[in-house]
Structure 1
């Protein structure tokens, strides 16, 4: 399947910044920008957050509408486990945690295939708690169509607005994972992200930093809305 619709649709932007330590990491990254894909150290204090600007992406042709409300979206699909931990904040309001925001994710399976029709694997919605947090149990996405492997997401802070983007994964991490089953059933690209202009446009800002957790990985990210 192709995903041409995920190319940036305009110069309109959203505010996003990686945060493997939640709100503290977001504030730190705002005050002292870290290298792409890495959380910044905690600030010494007194800094005013000025969150990183990132490129917005479209939903793509594989978005089929709001998914089922659930945390575990795997539905038994094979793949390396990935726990995605998200924190949504209002960047324009001092990075205040945003409760009650609906967060929708959708992605390809290990073979690079999206669920369609009556299928619903690797799609789901969570609503942020009082600390602006939610989490998904998923798998590392497979590659397809020469695009950088990615996880789409859409945040609806209220009934009138929404923000759509996608998460990427580091090349070295993908090469390691794609050497394992079930991904190894196909010959993986040598440089999974190299030919995707959306990945380059994001400049590392939308790249997750997975860390080992049991038999799989976990990755945390703070999403700051304007």
Structure 2
């Protein structure tokens, strides 16, 4: 199949943005793959949602963010693209999320989790490669009261964020993982599901990652295409890298 033109790329993404999650004609899915997308579950542009209270920038340029935290190993890939499906190379991507018990690092008062000030588990930064992909080795996130299961991320072009959003997961995936892995065992039950979470509703169907289990090693792979509207160049990333220490 010949490479997609810019017009073809726009047609694919427009159709993908209108299609229900994971319900796509095989031909369209094949064309999305030809366009270089890592998943067909995409929106034309990802929606901005609240950052939340737990963002810090520990200047950790690393792909493995687990720091020994228990939980189902998760290979997380975010592919940053423009509205016409072109990969954004060299963008800075920050991710952060709670551990299996619902605790964030770097937080002074996290309920039963205590004081995690000075800790940086499950936080990190990567730069996108030639395909626009930033990859992280982490664990599947747990949950805490008042929110459904999620992962936070920011995409930076130049010295400022062009997108702050969150990643969500299908309820069947969450239920299976929590039931089969002891790290997520809790006395209390989840009080908020996806359907009840206002931030998940704001983010929309395009914010749900495609998850695949890789047998027999028991590792999950999650992929999400992140469409952004670049309004700045990447010149400021060099300053960030030089000063990250």
Q: Which structure: greater helix fraction?
A: 2
1:59 equivalent to 2:51? Answer: yes
* Count of residues in correspondence between the two structures: 197
Native 8 Å contact 2:145 2:192 kept in 1 = no
Query: Structure 1 regions of 5+ residues with no counterpart?
Result: 1-23, 45-49
Q: Does 1:97 align with 2:81?
A: no
1:182 aligned residue: 183
Q: Is 2:19 aligned against 1:34?
A: yes
Distance of 2:104 and 2:10 partners within structure 1: 31
Alignment-derived partner of residue 212 in structure 1: 213
C-alpha contact 1:67 1:123 (8 A) present in aligned 2:
no
Asked whether the 8 Å contact 2:76–2:137 carries over to 1, the reply is yes
Distance 1:141 1:67, change over 3 A: farther
SS at match of 2:12: helix
Q: Which residue of 45, 50, 68 corresponds with 2:60?
A: 68
Displacement after TM superposition at 1:51 (Å): 5.2
Larger Rg: 1 or 2?
Answer: 2
Q: What's the CA shift for 1:65? A: 2.2
Q: Which residue number in structure 2 is paired with residue 84 of structure 1?
A: 76
| RMSD (Å), alpha carbons | 2.7
Q: What residue number does 1:139 align with?
A: 139
Distance 1:51 1:27, change over 3 A: farther
1:96-148: CA deviations, max 9, x gaps? 11111000000000000000121000000000112211200111111112211
